[in-house]
Amino acid sequence: MGKGELFAISDIHVEHEENRQALERFRSGNESDWLLVAGDVANDVDLFEWALRTLKAAFGTVVWAPGNHELHVVGGGQSGLRGEARYMDFVERCRALGVVTPEDPYPVWDGAWGPIRIVPMFLLYDYSFRGPGLSKREALEEAFDVGVVCDDEFVLDPHPHASREAWCEHRIRISVQRLESVEPPLPAVLTNHFPLKIEATEALLRPQFAQWCGTRVTSDWHRRFRAAAVVHGHLHIPRTMWHDGVPFVEVSLGNPREWRGRAPDLLAPRKILPKG
């Protein structure tokens, strides 16, 4: 078959039966098509493996970047792992399935609009997506006061890092080192669960939630690292924003109550390249 296309999806949350049924309908008509999975597949490791195995059978290449839900440790967690060790456990599970992870060499997609370097990232957040003039303490107090608090505060363990923002700083440092050294220079599709620019959070109905959604450090990465497109999830608000001529595509499916009634093209992987 001819050169393939590049698709992306996130926030599949296959703990919901309706989402599992939706995932089973995801199909590629070309074995050369690639799929980017931008996190929040499942917290449960068995469901996670089922979902990635199913997607791997439907697309030629699958690339995964973790979401916050993969990192949640609830009731001790099935594996007993937390923090960095839990993340690496998911990495190894992906590798066993033939799925590319942020810890692997960045693959080059040579499809109908290539070559493009595919860059899955794990960057987390540092609470800098908060209201102007607010300290982290003040922003958190406001969020608790109004009852808008991300579950991460209770079930995302950053071990062995001192805090979630320290883990974020560590991940940013690793990613910058890799991106600055990778050869040859090519346009890139940057893929991260959390949005790279704070502007994405302006659509949130509860702005206090934004502090768990990214870091201001990445606001210029689309220019700095030659992005042809940026893919993210997390907000459950599928749409495309443009910055400096670069599409920033939120590819979330979300929970059934959120996606019921949406247009059919928002209930399947979104085509990222070639651009329509």
Are 62 and 52 in contact, with CB atoms under 8 Å apart? Answer: yes
pLDDT tens column, 207-243: 999 999 999 999 999 999 999 999 999 999 999 999 9
pLDDT tens column, 84-117: 999 999 999 999 999 999 999 999 999 877 799 9
pLDDT at 146: 96
Which own/partner contact pairs does 263-271 have at CB distance under 8 Å and 24+ positions apart?
266/238, 267/22, 268/9, 268/22, 268/25, 268/26, 269/7, 269/8, 269/9, 269/26, 269/35, 270/7, 270/8, 270/9, 270/238, 271/5, 271/6, 271/7
266: pLDDT strictly greater than 90: no
pLDDT at 1: 40
List the domains of the chain with CATH numbers.
6-273 (3.60.21)
Q: Rounded to an integer, what distance in angstroms lies between the CA atom of residue 200 and that of residue 247?
A: 12
